[in-house]
A = this chain, B = another copy of it.
Amino acid sequence: MKKPLIEKLAIIGVGLMGGSLAMVLKQKGEVGEVVGMGRGLENLEKAMSLGIVDSYTQDLEKGVKGADVVVVATPVCSIAKVISKVQAHMKDGAIITDVGSVKGEIVREVEKILDDRLHFVGGHPIAGTEQSGAQAAFPSLYKGSRCIITPSDRTDEKALDRIKEMWQLAEAEVVVMDVDGHDKILAAISHLPHLVAYALVNTVDGIKDFNGSILKYSAGGFKDFTRIASSSPEMWRDICVMNRSAIIDMTDRYMVELGKIKTAMENNDFDSLFESFKKSKEARDSL
């Protein structure tokens, strides 16, 4: 039997992201043993019963012992704290990686506190569904998705290669870039759209002169469009904290674009409006 890529894998936060990664690596025989960790006992028991993990513990310091790779799949604000807490208990040469949707703050914080005998590689698989928890995990989550890996000049080459290979085994297309590139792209394709959706729902909900909120008139289109406004306010506040400047910049750019549309309407310049809509449709249709 061939040697798996990772002998002992520790997953901190066995939810959709961490759980799906464990599942695909197990399915391919690329992991010897998976230890699941997290705060929710029920979720860990679920992960165990689904065969996502081989053992579990709520004691992070115990769980990381002997692990070759530790994947931190906890909320973005806690990633550096978790690493700070567990690193003294990890074995020499072990690799820590994460799946956080912000990279600059996390990589800078982690590199500030990381033990020299360990390696850290920042990562962000761009995948997900509306669901969360171990129950939501499935081995093909990452198939065909992109995973951005953000090494710094301090990143160990061998550790980087191993994490790249791990995501390739999960069938993600790995893209390597610097943290600022990642944070700008994510601000544009994910963080800004969430702010836009939250603001839109609040705008519509704020119009109360039709016997209560006019949201009741909304049809399928509005519901689909604003689905992401149902996302966790805690999680999105944290992302805004962690990727503040890129999101502010992207919001500025967006307000300029929307302002152009509004100005065209005010000036009765419906040709410009048409060109703007056409350009947008062409870009969207190309996805």
Contacts and interface: CB of A to CB of B under 8 A. Distances in A.
Nearest to A264: B240
8 contacts: A185-B207, A188-B214, A193-B222, A193-B226, A198-B277, A203-B254, A215-B287, A251-B258
B198 A192 contact: no
B195 A128 contact: no
Contact of A251 (B184, B215, B262): B262
A215 B198 contact: no
A147 to B, nearest CB: 11
Is chain A's binding surface mostly helix, strand, loop or mixed?
helix
Given A207-B253, A255-B259, 12 more contacts: A177-B210, A185-B207, A188-B204, A189-B218, A192-B203, A199-B254, A200-B257, A205-B280, A232-B281, A240-B265, A240-B273, A251-B262
Given A195-B258, A257-B202, A285 B230 contact: yes
A280 B198 contact: yes
B199 A281 contact: no
User: Quick one: copies of this chain in the complex?
Assistant: 2
B198 A287 contact: no
A229 interface: yes
Interface residues of A, number: 88
Interface stretch (A6-14, A107-115, A157-165, A241-249): A241-249
B214 A253 contact: no
A238 to B, nearest CB: 9
A284 interface: yes
Given A214-B189, A251-B258, A283 B201 contact: yes
Contacts of A215: 189, 283, 286-287
Contact of A281 (B148, B213, B233): B233
Nearest to A184: B207
